[in-house]
Amino acid sequence: MAQSTFVAAVCVLILSHSFISVVKATTFTIVNECNYVVWPGILSNAGVPTLPTTGFALQSGETKAITAPASWGGRFWGRTHCSEDSTGKFSCLTGDCGSGKVECSGNGAAPPASLAEFTLDGAGGLDFFDVSLVDGYNIPMLVVPQGGTGQNCTNTGCVVDLNGSCPSELKVMSSDGTAGVACKSACEAFGDPQYCCSGAYGTPDTCKPSSYSEVFKTACPRAYSYAYDDKTSTFTCANADYTITFCPSPNTSQKSSQEQQNTETTTPPLINTTMVYEGALDQSVASPSSCTHVLVNLGIIMAIWWSWQLF
């Protein structure tokens, strides 16, 4: 019995190491298709490593790739109408992070701002992501998974320019007052608990969509429009990289949708690693030789997995 237990423990350690080793870093490709400069900001969640940059300038037509470690979580957003004053202090009219510099250095976006939110390698090994307008809107944004798998692994975002159609009571105007540059959330504009999903309205049963959140939802059906808009606005992928595009052109959006349809048609189903792991554990307790059998099966599974990654 002791020998069987020892073999089982060895098998579990080997299997665990094998599955952990395939968790790869994630690449975020940031693209600016706006006809003006955007200054992306990045905030990492508490307790996870920060990314190599927390803010930078992205010229019109420019692209920048950033690598995130496994299990990273945080948010991306675009800052607009930015400049330095005579003392060198950097600030933005929308999405400002208050650091006084191009790097946000641990500060988040001042609302209103369109946010792309990610939790990598979460429950079940899946990435969870969304585009949120809960803190308002300032710039069109599209998030496209690249090479990921899963039934809910699809594009999301808000590709419509809402600044022109924003209700007047929510609109943020440019410095010269000639154009709308952002659209506040009703919570920020009015501070009412029914719009903020707070107090007596702090549960999914009591906090319902408002006429203001419906403006966002109608224009951008896949984006979060209010705090409890989970059912239609949270997406998951396994083993994906992500492209985040500011001001995506109609061609970009159409191409991304077509690529997603092709992926859903041709991508093999995910391996149920929980079943593989549990089956291996049961077999390993039976005899030392079964561990070899498990590892052979694991090798076959890993070979199949890597072949999928190549294509």
Question: Averaged in consecutive runs of 10 residues, what is the pLDDT profile of the chain (311 residues)?
Answer: 49 47 80 98 96 97 96 97 96 98 97 98 94 97 95 95 94 94 97 95 94 95 93 94 95 58 43 32 37 47 49 45
Amino acid 252: pLDDT: 67
Residue listed under structure tokens 């350690």: 13
Phi first, then psi: what are they for 197, rounded to 5°?
A: 55, 50
8 Å CB contact between 112 and 137: yes
C-alpha closest to that of 98 among 150, 45, 54: 54
Within 8 A by CB and 6+ apart from 36, the residues are 60, 80
Same domain, 299 and 166: no
Residues in a beta bridge with 183: 137, 171
Concatenating the DSSP letter of every residue in 234-253 gives: -EEEBS-EEEEEES--HHHH
Instruction: Please give the Cα distance from 188 to 153 (Å, whole number).
Output: 31
Domain shared by 57 and 98, yes or no: yes
pLDDT at 250: 80
Distance between CA atoms of 277 and 257, rounded to whole angstroms?
Answer: 35
pLDDT of res. 272? 36
Q: Are residues 36 and 180 both part of a single domain?
A: yes
Quick one: 88 and 223 in the same domain? yes
* In a shared domain, residues 115 and 153: yes
Is 262 in the same domain as 281? no
Give Cα 177 distance to the centre of its chain.
33
In CATH, what number is assigned to the domain containing residue 210?
Answer: 2.60.110.10
Where a domain ends, among 266, 283, 301?
266
Q: Are residues 232 and 90 in the same domain?
A: yes
Spatial strand order of the sheet with 141-146 comes to 63-68, 26-32, 241-246, 141-146, 156-158
Range of the domain at 306: 2-19+271-310
Are 42 and 64 members of one domain?
A: yes
Determine the pLDDT at residue 18.
Answer: 45
Are both 13 and 104 inside the same structural domain? no
Whole-model pTM: value is 0.76
Structure token pair of residue 47:
């307790």
> Which pLDDT score is estimated for 156?
97
Same domain, 193 and 289: no
Residues 185 and 79 in one domain: yes
Residue 78, SS3 per DSSP: strand
- The total of structural domains in the chain comes to 2
Q: Are residues 282 and 143 in the same domain?
A: no
Paired tokens of 276: 């593989």
